[in-house]
Chain A
Amino acid sequence: MKSYPFAQTPARSLTAALPLLLSLIPPPTCSAEDAPESAPAAAAAVETMPVVAVPTPAVATPRELSLHELIDQQIGAALAAKGIAPAARANDAEFLRRIYLDLTGSIPTLGEAKAFLDDKSPIKRQQLVDRLLNSPEYARQMQRVFDVALMERRPAQHIGQAQWEEYLRNAFAANKPWDVLVREILASDGADADLRPAARFYLDRGGEPNLLARDVGRLFLGRDMQCAQCHDHPLVSAYLQTDYYGLLAFFNRSFLFTPKEEPKAVVFAEKAEGDIAFKSVFVADATDQPARPHLPGEKEVEEPQFEKGQEYAVSPADGVRPVPKYSRRSRLPVLLPRGDNVAFRRNIANRLWALMMGRGLVHPLDMQHDGNPPSHPVLLDLLGQRCAEMGFDIKAFLREVALSETYQRTSELPPGVETLPPDSFAAAALKPLSAEQLALASLQATGITDVYRASLGPALNEATLSEKVAANLPAFLGVFAGQAGQPEQEFQATLEQTLFMANGGVLRSWIAPQAGNLADRLNRVNEPAAVADQIYLCVLSRPPAADELADLTVYLQARTQDRPVAIQEWIWGLLASDEFRFNH
């Protein structure tokens, strides 16, 4: 697999290389000549497409600033303009828990927490960010995040969940640029064994053209144009019916093809004919308007015309996959994931920002349009541009966000301040743990993951540990994960979830003492201060406060008769607390 070296200071180095890169980019054309003539040609285009195309910035970019400095400058300027005093810098423990959850999906072990808190280095936060970004845990966490984002918990049908996860994990481990990843996803038809997992985006949506048009718009362009299926969006003037059908037209000739000899090797095939037309349901006597493929707001793709009977490289026949000479769908990976596609680069910048900050600069993430302006328009433009300039290097981008003061603020409001607007980013957001984060953090907090580590002995590594841990996830995910096919919803506490936490056997079994887990270890510690230290560092990744130590000491003194029960009560009290449920 191709590797993508992780540049420590990508913004500067890429900026320096800008003229060179620009000179390599052919002028954008949409002539029929450069249209791939067949599906194999489209696959080849994945490798040859230019990665970066940078337009003239809309605003003067202070090139001397690194991206994280730029973030702080922009956010800071907006705060100053509004007269908002931001929250203080997060303390080390708060930063520690936050960055672990964001970049690895779980909380630190007792040892990791202690080591970081005891570390006296002035650059220990940056060192931690770099260490985590280069850890296998990072690749797996990104795999989880992008699996849920791209597939929205749809059941695996044609591509195994494990293959898809491996594909994503390898991509993030190699730091595959976002545009390359998207190009693979949009170009893969499932026929090429190496790229077959990438075809899951199409195949496990059943190849349904409307669903694909909607989700390509939402996930890669930040535009949910569902309402524009039937009419121009009544409230969003930028969402036009013609744009929805323009996206749909890339897919309307495509269909799932099942090879007779290999019924499981379903591929996404395409016909050479089939046009769509639309009319508004709101306009009486509307006439059908033909729809040709085009990206929202852009001009229609020019399509080669073939004589009747000459349209196919491989003609359709019973049991034969047809191959058209001109593939509509293959235009999409060429046209969409490009640095000069403003919607594309803004979408990924906004999504990565939201991953770290808890909300997008445009929020909701798939409602990028004039009527829903970004909270910080200049910053969003800059982030999009820089992201493209950095070669859509996801690690580098996340690193810059993580190093910003904006990211590193505490979630505690400053004294005397009653409220701060969430879209000002004046304080850190409380991010509800995802279903996966909640399960993994609970396993780590209760020491079950430590038990697995011990049991693996010399075989311990990220992969073997992950495999052990994975067996525990389904029970949690069944209760906490969102509905298949729906975007992850905003936070809701459901009765089912709370009863699971309160009375469920799974969590109770983790809290109950078993050799090597937290309760078991605490049962063998006498000193209340040592108990408090371990319990708070393990569950909440911070040392206990003085009053917490005092309370715990009194509690344990009163419960000498049933001390193990008292310890479990304390663990549960912390696990069920707001502090645990949210990434703060």
Chain B
Amino acid sequence: MLDIVFYLLSAIAVASAIAVIVVRDIFRAALCLILLFMTVAGIYLLLHADFLAIVQVLVYVGAISVLIIVAIMLTRDVQHGQPLGRLKYPAIVVAALLLGVVALGVVNTVFVLPDNAPLQETVKPLGKALFGDPGYLLTVEIAAVMLLSAILGAIAVIREK
């Protein structure tokens, strides 16, 4: 049953990712990107990552896609008929080669998997791991400073001279 859900979500994800590249109208491409974000949130749920699925919906579907759509609206004069670049065929070859190498590596690697049952809800363990004693507290604070500097950098770049 879960396998069917996985393959359905994977098919939707791959199809919408291809649609993001192929669709000419950039607004429709953005809508396909939002569909991709939602299916990725579903895949996180399949992987027992409930907190990250909610964060995916909040951050990607809620914030980043709105940012991208605002960018499309504010730059909306050269939307249609964007041809692919001159490097189309070399890029296809490079991407296919990378995919082949990675798939070969994945198939030929023997992963050592423990038999622990996965955690059923991850919010409390994630909070303990992030803010607990042998945790990632310094990284959390560095991430906060990095977000602040990104906001300041965006304001400084976009300000009218």
Is B a genuine binding partner of A? no
